[in-house]
Copies of this chain bind each other. A is one copy, B any other.
Amino acid sequence: MISKKMKVLVENSSTIRAMFEEGKRLAKIHGEENVFDFSLGNPNVEPPETIKSSINKILNTEHPNLVHGYMNNSGYEAVRTKIADFINHKHNLDVTQNNIVMTCGAAGGLNIILKTLINPGDEVIVFAPFFGEYRNYVSNYDGELVIVPPDIETFEPNIEVLKEKITAKTKAVIINTPNNPTGVVYSEKAIKELAKTLLEKEEEFGTSIYLISDEPYREIVYDGIEVPYILKYYKNTFICYSYSKSLSLPGERIGYIVTNSKMDDFESVMSALNVANRILGFVNAPSLFQRVVADCIDAEVDVEIYKRNRDLLYNHLIELGFTCIKPEGAFYLFPRTPIENDIEFCQEAKKYNLLLVPGSGFGCPGHVRLAYCISYEKIKKSLAAFEKLAKATISK
């Protein structure tokens, strides 16, 4: 008796659940320490110590009805002001609290943006490989997902194909940099070309095309690389930020949207985000954690831990003969599968107790995602299993 849309979704998600069940089954047979689960993007690096002391400070100094009460659906004004100041200082901008809506993570942010923008049949463009949930988020509002196929040499957005895909019905383009699943940070050159193309197409079609930048991995970068701040390159930009990875707080559902003040219909867009936050049932981002992230505005997790993991696993895969881009951000590797069928490859991996995610789920078959946000020791222990997998699948 569930709805037709949900029936399909439940059936699809059962395949993923089947994989988790398989993981549990393997753990029972071989012991949990011998099963290598690279399937989940759940940070293993600890949240900064200041999170705890900040919670204590807030609970000890503020009135509980203010700490845990309702506020404006867009979030506390003081929190939004503090975040705006932080952004301005870091990126030399001049946003205010009026540019910011506190959200239930980036997932909440993306949903209220799409609710705000999408009429049924409107097109939303994504660049493969892309986070699979975008498919569902766009479908929630009866939008049409349009996929730009991957450039598997660089995993940068393919601007030439983008030009062909944009139509009068294109309402938005979603990018995700640093990227899940590739770990690639889009270059400033690519962002500039993207912005230029969108502007040209806006003029060509007489439409507004909004750029939505999903940025939960912004702070998880290595080797001193700079992540371009998209707000600076294109006026019709939404940034969806999340503290899930930057402060290792994924379960707390806390993030924000920041927009460019020069955006088309800025006032009504901001009002609509506020209303969408309410009517989709979020109501507001969790209140205590709004104050916590404002209080910990300078805090960071120890990214070196992820970097060590990346280097260990990446170097090992390359030595074994896998082809893989060296990621400069996020905590994923996205090697090509030596056999064409990535789902079969993941089945093969399971024989060695390796749990990996097929690239097909990200719109990029022939690849596989490894989430290396697990302990260094576990990765070390897994290397022998990857060796066996390489022997079984890489032809000489």
Contacts and interface: CB of A to CB of B under 8 A. Distances in A.
Interface of A: 1-7, 9-10, 13-14, 40, 42-44, 46-47, 51-52, 55-56, 59, 64-65, 67-71, 104-105, 107-112, 115-119, 122, 133, 136-137, 140-141, 208, 210, 248-253, 264-265, 268-269, 271-272, 275-276, 278-284, 286-289
Contacts of A252: 68, 286-288
Given A52-B64, A68-B250, A117 B279 contact: no
A272 to B, nearest CB: 5
A253 B47 contact: no
B133 A279 contact: yes
B105 A281 contact: yes
Given A14-B271, A70-B42, A107-B281, A119 B64 contact: no
Main secondary structure of the interface of A (DSSP, over half): helix
Contact of A64 (B47, B110, B141): B47
A47 B70 contact: no
Contacts of A272: 2-3, 6-7, 9-10
A122 B109 CA distance: 28
A41 to B, nearest CB: 8
7 contacts: A1-B264, A2-B117, A46-B64, A52-B59, A133-B279, A137-B279, A253-B286
Contact of A253 (B3, B269, B282): B282
A2 B116 contact: yes
Contact of A1 (B141, B208, B283, B284): B208
A65 B47 contact: yes
Nearest to A263: B1
A6 B275 contact: yes
A148 B68 CA distance: 35
Contacts of A40: 70
Nearest to A244: B70
Contacts of A47: 64-65, 68
Nearest to A41: B70
B250 A104 contact: no
Contact of A282 (B109, B137, B282): B282
A116 B271 CA distance: 28
Contacts of A14: 271
Given A208-B1, A281-B110, A282-B104, A250 B13 contact: no
B64 A248 contact: yes
Given A6-B276, A13-B271, A251 B117 contact: no
Given A2-B272, A268-B2, A280-B280, A248 B70 contact: no
A68 B252 CA distance: 6
A251 B70 contact: yes
Given A55-B55, A108-B281, A281-B137, A286 B64 contact: no
A69 B247 CA distance: 11
A101 B204 CA distance: 48
B3 A286 contact: no
A43 B69 contact: yes
List of 5 A-B pairs having minimum Cβ-Cβ separation, nearest first: A251-B287, A111-B281, A107-B281, A136-B279, A1-B208
Instruction: Give the interface centre of A69, A111, A264 by most chain B CB atoms within 10 Å.
Output: A69
Contacts of A265: 1-2
Contacts of A279: 9, 133, 136-137, 140
Nearest to A112: B281
A7 B275 CA distance: 10
B268 A69 contact: no
A106 B384 CA distance: 48
Contacts of A288: 251-252, 288-289
Contact of A268 (B10, B271, B283): B10
